[in-house]
Homo-oligomer: A and B are copies of this chain.
């Protein structure tokens, strides 16, 4: 009987991740989806599936492609991201991609939480902020200096709300915030801001190899040009480190 089951399993093709509509309308895309994206890229070492989920969900929200969001947020839960982290990610992206991008994520997340029976009372923030990084005063002074003559209110909001509050909110670890921020910047082509955040990400515990792998993963969700531009900034950061 076991041999018969084994033979049946071998006779059946591997289940396709590509949905029937894709197999029908864009059969080549279905093949790439099964063989390359899910067969190879998601299985690559160098970046945990949990982190690949953070990069994927971030890219969907940052680029306003919320159709597949409920599905990928569910996959994120399966890969170990907590509901509170998903909620914290949405709040984080409100600042990095604008309120409307975050707002568009609320309904898909609500539908997911309902479908999984998740109690949203667990999403409430305890409001005990993490300590500020040792070099934060230096960073705040640099922001103030850069914007003082041009947009001082933007400098104050950057220091008082973004860094003194959002980044220290324990809903997401600083390492996860950095991964999400790098993915959001890369997905939206904010190359100039990547220079600072690729460095901060490494200070927050992401390895150089994880960042390269996140950018490679993101090629499939934000498109090749965005990944190539981000890889260029990572190469530049490497050069600066060597110098």
A residues adjacent to B (C-beta < 8 A): 21-22, 24-29, 31-33, 36-37, 41, 44, 46, 59-60, 63-65, 67-68, 87-88, 90-91, 94-104, 106-107, 109-110, 113, 120, 123-125, 146-147, 149-151, 153-154, 157-158, 161-162, 166, 169, 171, 184-185, 188-190, 192-193, 212-213, 215-216, 219-229, 231-232, 234-235, 238
Contact = CB atoms under 8 A, between A and B. Distances in A.
Contacts of A22: 103, 106
B65 A98 contact: yes
Contacts of A60: 100
A101 to B, nearest CB: 6
B102 A154 contact: no
Number of this chain's copies in the complex: 3
A32 B91 contact: yes
A98 B224 CA distance: 7
Contact of A26 (B91, B157, B227, B231): B91
Contacts of A106: 21-22, 25-26
Nearest to A222: B98
A127 to B, nearest CB: 9
B90 A238 contact: no
List 4 tightest A-B contacts by C-beta distance, closest first.
Answer: A65-B100, A190-B225, A150-B235, A98-B223
Contacts of A65: 64, 98, 100-101, 103-104
